[in-house]
Amino acid sequence: MIALLLGGAVGLFADVSHAFDLEGHRGARGLAPENTLAAFRRAMQIGVTTIETDMAVTQDDVVVMSHDPFLNPDIVRDPDGHWLSAKGPPIRTLSFDELARYDIGRLNPTNAYARQFPEQQEIDGERFPKLSELFELGKTSAKPVRFNIGTKITPTSGSDTPDPATFARLVIDAVRTANVSDRVTVQSFDWRTLIEVQRIAPDVATSCLTIQTRDNDTVSAPKSGASPWHAGFALRDYAGSLPATVKAAGCAVWSMYWRNLSAKELAEAHGLGLKVLPWTVNDPSEMRRLIDLGVDGIITDYPDRLRSVMVDKGMAVP
C-alpha cells in the first residue's frame, strides 16, 4: 500500500522534476505580511515554483491560511485596530465571519518578532484568506504555480484544531473543488494528517516535515517507541534512519529544518527516491551551499534572494 501511494505521489512531480523548486515561505514573509493574499501575490510577482503556506480551520469548517492555530499577537489587530495584548483564541473557536474582522497586514512593532523582518511591507487591511482564495489567486499566475500547504496540528492540539481525519478531509475537499490535485503537496510535522491524506487522496503528494533542535524536536522518540509526531512510525524500526522512516510513512518529500540536513542523509534520501526540501533558508551563502549539496528545492522567506542566487548560478528559474 505504501509503495502504491508513493508511486502516485512521486508522479505529481514529473512536470517539475527537471527544475529546482523555489518556494516562498508563508508566501514571502520577509517582504509582505505572512500568509496573506498580498504575500502570495508578491511571491507570484517575483516568480516562484511553489507557494508554501499553513492552514487552520474555523468553527464553521472553513480552511484558512494561518501559521498558528490561534490568534497571534505578533501579527493580529482586533476589529478596533488594537494589537492583541496576549495570545488570542483558537481559530477553531471562531466562525469565518468573526475571523475576518481581524487585521493581519503588519507586524506588531513592540514585539521582537517584528525585528526579524525589517523589509516586510505594511499592508493594512489584509485578512486571513481562505484556502479556496489562494487556489483562485494561483490560477491567475502567468506561469503555473504549485502549492505546499501545511496542516497546523500537533499531537497535543486537542479541540484547538480539527482531528487529523477531519482536517485532511476538509483540505482535500477544497483541493478537489478547485481541481488542483496535481499542483498540491500537503505537508505536516504531525504525520497523522499525512497518513489520512494518503488514504483518501493517494493522488495528492505529501511532505514529511521534521525538526530536531534544543527547543523544538519532532524526531526524538521515547524508549517505548515512535515520536508522537510520526503517526506510529518508529526510527528504531528503520535502523535509526530518518529518511527511511519518511519513506515508510509514504511521503514523497522530506522537508527538514535546514541546519539538520547532512550530506549523508541527503544521499540516502535520494537513494530512496525522496525529494529533499530544507526550510527556512534566508542567507544567500547558505542557499548556494545547499544547492551545491544537491537539494531539490529551498523554502525561503525571501524568494527574491533565492531567485537571484539561482540566476547567478545559471540555473533555470520559474
249-281 pLDDT, tens digit per residue, is 999 999 999 999 999 999 999 999 999 999 999
pLDDT for residue 297: 99
Note the pTM of the prediction, 2 decimals.
Answer: 0.94
Does residue 246 belong to any structural domain of this protein? yes
Q: What is the pLDDT of residues 124-161, one digit of tens each?
A: 999 999 999 999 999 999 999 999 999 999 999 999 99
Query: pLDDT tens across 202-231, in order?
Result: 999 999 999 999 999 999 998 778 999 999
| Nearest-angstrom CA–CA distance, 301 and 117 | 9
Q: Please, which residues bridge with residue 212 across strands?
A: 217
Return mean pLDDT, the chain: 95
The whole domain housing 281 covers: 2-312
How confident is the model at residue 1, as a pLDDT?
32
pLDDT at 97 over 80: yes
Mean pLDDT, residues 292-304:
99
The pLDDT, as a whole number, for residue 222 is: 86
pLDDT tens digit sequence for 24-63: 999 999 999 999 999 999 999 999 999 999 999 999 999 9
**Residues 47/145, Cβ–Cβ less than 8 Å:** no
For residue 259, the tally of other CB atoms under 10 A from its CB is 11
Residue 273 lies in a domain: yes
Residue pointed to by grid coordinates 508563508: 26
Tell me, what CATH number does 7's domain have? Answer: 3.20.20.190
Q: Is 84 a domain residue? A: yes
What was the pLDDT predicted at 5? Answer: 34
CA distance 305 to 203: 32
Q: Which residues of 128-140 are buried (b: 16+ CB within 10 A; e: fewer)?
A: bbbbbebbebbee
Q: What is the pLDDT of residues 50-96, one digit of tens each?
A: 999 999 999 999 999 999 999 999 999 999 999 999 999 999 999 99
Residue 180 in domain: yes
Q: Would residue 317 count as lying in a domain?
A: no
- Could you tell me the pLDDT band of residue 11, with boundaries at 50, 70 and 90? very low
Q: Is residue 318 part of a domain?
A: no
What domain count does the chain have?
A: 1
- Domain assignment present for residue 65? The answer is yes
